[in-house]
Amino acid sequence: MAVELDVQKFFRACNPSKTLNYKKAEDRRYYIDFSQVRGAEVVEEVGRTIEFMEPDPTCQLFTGHIGCGKSTELLRLKAELENKGFHVAYFESTNVLETSDVEVSDLLLAIAHQISENLRDAGIPLVGRYFANLLQECANFLQTPVQIETQAEISLGIGKLTAKAKESPTFRSQLRQYLEPQTKQLIDGINNDLLVPANEILRKRGKQGLVAIVDNLDRVDNRKLDSGLTLPEYLFVRRGDQLRSLKCHLVYTIPLALLFSNEHQALKNRLGGGSSAMVLPMVPVQLRDGSLYTEGLDRLKQMIMVRAFPQATPEERLQWVDRAFDSRETLDWLCYQSGGHVRMLLSLVFSCLRKHKPLPITRKMVEVAVREARDELRLSITEDEWTLLRKVLQTKEVAGPIESQTLLRSLFVFEYRNAEDGRWFDVNPLLDGSPELG
């Protein structure tokens, strides 16, 4: 028997700004596994590396287009590692760092704060001599009005520093002046006061090791520094050895453009320890030769229909497409226009639903949403960029830091992978039919 479609719940479930938390049963029912059609089981590979290398610490790099589903996959990784006995501290760096202005000491302090707070919540409060001294020295050096109890738990003291640093550029600059010259001592303090004792306590409790997942670092501003390097190149390449030296399992998200940088091999060796970054590509809607990829489209259709009928089976959802859309062809075309970018697909559906018109969503409604998204995308494309897009359309390739930064970060071009064709790039389907593409 068919169930009724709750329009309000459907609308809320299609909110493109919401990240699914795989550990929550309510969110997990909306999760669709795209690994088979994406051409790589990225999360499984990251988790397997951590599991097999335990107790030796690992440092792995994770990247992909902004909005392609990285945070959802990392939260799934967190849940699966916890099921295997690991203690996982996941945090979004954008909540504690100013991503347009980041130094290594800022990041290290933020990681120490988030891990210590996570451990405290798990009943493992730590008070270390190094941090007690550091916090007192910071208070004296900065002459800060922030009250810091030197005998307080690590998480409380560092939390006050990181919160003040995020909100005040002046305080952030002063804190760096003090911490940057002693980065090695900071790393040693984090390891000796926090990570090593935490791992010992966890293992005595029958747990596996500690894992830190640092999300949203792919949003670090790509501005050029006086050295000629971009901020991500400086942070993740030139200072990569320091970021990988923390004694726990680390997963860092990094900007996709770094894979096209001249510093890529240095990145691989310094921060990745010889291993390449794991890339979460788009869900293919067509193959390299331009033919439709039905398996990818089918998964995308399930991603939308599960939000309409979360309790139904995959077969039932497809039988009830006409309760949400005027035809299967409308849903197919909508999924194709998204280019396999999951947030964009949700955004298009959300745009249709927010117009307060009754269901089903019609082809006309989808065309309006697509046109609005296309017009918005076209506003920022220059003539030089149209030339690059025509080149991608012909070659299916993107090369070098300029093309990658221009085309990928702006979502003009998407990256795809599969076993048969390997890696290829294609123009965002929203731009299909643009006269500038010829």
Residues 6+ apart with CB under 8 A from 287: 293, 418, 420, 421
Going from N- to C-terminal start, the domains of the chain cover 1-37+282-432, 41-280
- pLDDT tens by residue, 170-226: 888 888 898 999 999 999 999 999 999 999 999 999 999 999 999 999 999 999 999
How far is it, in rounded angstroms, from Cα 69 to Cα 279? 11
How far is it, in rounded angstroms, from Cα 423 to Cα 406? 19
CATH T-level topology, domain 41-280: Rossmann fold (3.40.50)
C-alpha 198: how far from its chain's center?
A: 26
In degrees, rounded to 5, the angle at the alpha carbon of residue 63 between the alpha carbons of residues 54 and 182 is 65
- pLDDT tens by residue, 279-315: 999 999 999 999 999 999 999 999 999 999 999 999 9
- pLDDT tens by residue, 126-168: 867 787 788 778 777 777 655 555 445 666 667 777 877 888 8
Cβ atoms within 10 Å of 312's Cβ, excluding its own:
16
Dmax (CA) for the chain in angstroms is 70
One-letter amino acid at 251 equals V
- pLDDT tens by residue, 210-238: 999 999 999 999 999 999 999 999 999 99
Q: How many residues does the chain have?
A: 438
Residues 6+ apart with CB under 8 A from 198: 87, 115, 119, 124, 126, 210, 248
How far is it, in rounded angstroms, from Cα 300 to Cα 345? 8
